[in-house]
Amino acid sequence: MIATVHECAIDIGGMPILLRTDSSDFVRLLQDRYGSFINATGPRPVFELEVELLSLDSIKDPDQDVQVWRESGRWLMERGDFRAEWETERRRGWVRQTANPYSIDCVLRILHSLILAPEGGFLVHAASAVKNGRAFLFAGVSGAGKTTISRLAPSDVAVLTDEISYVRSGPHGYEAFGTPFAGELARIGANIRAQLEAVYLLVQGQENKIEPVSEIDALQAFLRNVLFFTHDSELVERVFLNAFDFVSGVPVYRLTFVPDAKVWELIA
């Protein structure tokens, strides 16, 4: 019996990845989860990923941190619930996982980080949103208000994500892209992009105010949120330098705010 192969392109950051699986149920699961990031039309993706589904009892140690390392020019990823490989040069790889959205989600975050690294981009624990055609990043320690400020966004502001922001370096500076990586907001972001105007370090307080931040404070506050998922020294260095250059190239402010919608009037 010939199994039908189903394909589905997930387009994040303007870098679509074509997923191939023999399960139409899994494709439906992906469509549910990734919504407008599933690109039925559009140019044929350059990146391809085979997904092989496993039975449930093949999960071991679900609490384990994902391990990512490089071997013979391939990237290997492993966690209790999945195994994956990715060949950077050939731009293809595979995932073996059970039929759940969390494994593929983790793999996608790592793959995008790997793809972004050589070109000055990275993923970072931060909320981001677009107002008046410009993007703003909101970083902060957990509980500082990333989800809160996303939730408070008025109707003319498009939330790109409340959890994992996607930053790419371009000829005119940095751009932020919407992602389907949602935190407690539990809503995928708008699938749009915009030039990054500023970064706000969030602090909840008794009034709304914006203050300057010293370069070294901005660097520490931001760098601690950048996604580092491997011990590979070359990649760590690349991502570190990307983040460093980013913080040096974009205005960073401290935003103290009272959790109500008026804070958005300050953002410009």
Partner 1 sequence: MNATYIARGTKLAGRKLKNQMVIMTARDSVLSVLNEVGTLIWDAADGATPLEAIVERKVCAGYDVDRTEALKDAEEFVQDLASDGILIVSDQPIVSSPNKASEAARGEHS
Partner 2 sequence: MTTATIAPVGDEHSLLKFSLAIEVMRSVGEAQLTVGGASMLPSIWPGDILEIHRVGADLARGDIVVFARDNRLVVHRVLGVNRERDEVILLTQGDRSPRADSPVSANELLGKVRAIRRGHRNIIPRRTRWTQTAAWVLRRSDLCTRVLLHLAAVRRNSSTPAMVWAD
Which chain residues interact with partner 1 by CB under 8 A? 215-216, 219-220, 223-224, 228, 231-234, 236-237, 240-241, 244, 248
Q: Which of 250, 142, 123, 144 is nearest to 189 (CA)?
A: 123
Pick 94 or 228: Cβ nearer partner 2: 228
Neighbour count for residue 71 (Cβ, 10 Å): 8
In 3-state terms, what secondary structure has residue 223? helix
Pick 184 or 237: Cβ nearer partner 1: 237
Partner interacting with residue 244 (select from partner 2, partner 1, none; CB below 5-8 Å by kind):
partner 1
Closest CB 14 distance from partner 2, rounded Å: 28
Q: Select the residue interacting with partner 2 from 35, 42, 133, 143 (CB under 8 A).
A: 143
Q: Which stretch binds partner 2 (CB under 8 A): 23-31, 113-121, 126-134, 137-145?
A: 137-145
Closest CB 107 distance from partner 1, rounded Å: 20
Sketch the per residue contact string, 151 through 190, with partner 2: x for CB under 8 A, - otherwise: --------------------------------xx------
DSSP-assigned letter for residue 190: P
Site for partner 2 in 2-61 (CB under 8 A): none
Task: Please say whether the beta carbons of 182 and 163 come within 8 A.
Answer: yes
φ, ψ at 28 (rounded to 5°): -65, -40
Q: Select the residue interacting with partner 2 from 123, 144, 190, 202 (CB under 8 A).
A: 144
Partner interacting with residue 248 (select from partner 1, partner 2, none; CB below 5-8 Å by kind):
partner 1
Q: What string of DSSP letters covers 74-136?
A: EEEEEETTEEEEEETTTTEEEEEEES-HHHHHHHHHHHHHHHHGGGT-EEEE-EEEEETTEEE
Q: Does 228 bind partner 2 (CB under 8 A)?
A: yes
Pairwise CA distance, residues 8 & 73, whole Å: 26
Q: Which of 207, 197, 190 is nearest to 153 (CA)?
A: 190
φ, ψ at 32 (rounded to 5°): -60, -45
Per CB under 8 A, residues contacting partner 2 are 63, 65, 141-144, 183-184, 204, 220, 223-224, 228, 231
